[in-house]
Amino acid sequence: MSIALPVDIDQIKGFLAQDEGEALYQHAQQSCKLGPVLEVGSYCGKSTVYLGAACKGSDNIVYAVDHHRGSEEHQLGEEYHDPDLYDSSVELMDSFKVFRASMRAAGLEETVVPIVASSAVASKGWNTPLGMVFIDGGHSEEAAQTDYRSWVSHIKPGGILAIHDIFPNPADGGQAPYNIWKLAKASGLFEELPMVNTLGLFRRK
């Protein structure tokens, strides 16, 4: 399918394939009728544009949870380090300025609510039922498990859980997202939906 997005999505840094983004858009468009959408791991806002554009039409919102200090693989000296996002004054990654610029360019500042914090912090005392949760945060085992435990219980019946970077074969990629995908599958809470590329999808029973 072809989706009319408010910006040239290829100009936004990120690792989301087009078919995965379009699947997020389709599911968000339906599930935001149940409640807000929440994503973990916004980076520079590529996935957020897909989710935000889908929710804007229904006058709903996207909570975008990210500490904006980068995942393990984004750090100095690592494989996916981007020097343009490195703040040498504090010797840390900082993608928030670029994220905000992406939301401004897409006209989504009144649709997307940035939460600059980790899952563990952002989820403390969380009470808002969610129509969809998209997990694409840190790929260490601890980070992925924390993201899963923090948000899955807040998905309303009929809502969607989406998990990015599912690689059953360890030679293709890290296993932490795949491990929480297996948790969701074994939990009895979800109906498994067809995968889209590396995007695992479930519907809450």
Task: Give me the active site residues, please.
Answer: 139
Nearest 5°: the CA angle 77, 137, 60 is 140
Structure tokens at 165: 């970077």
Distance of CA 91 to the CA centre of its chain: 25
Burial class from Cβ neighbours inside 10 Å (0-12, 13-18, 19+) for residue 140 reads middle
The residues that bridge with 192 in the sheet, in sequence order, are: 202
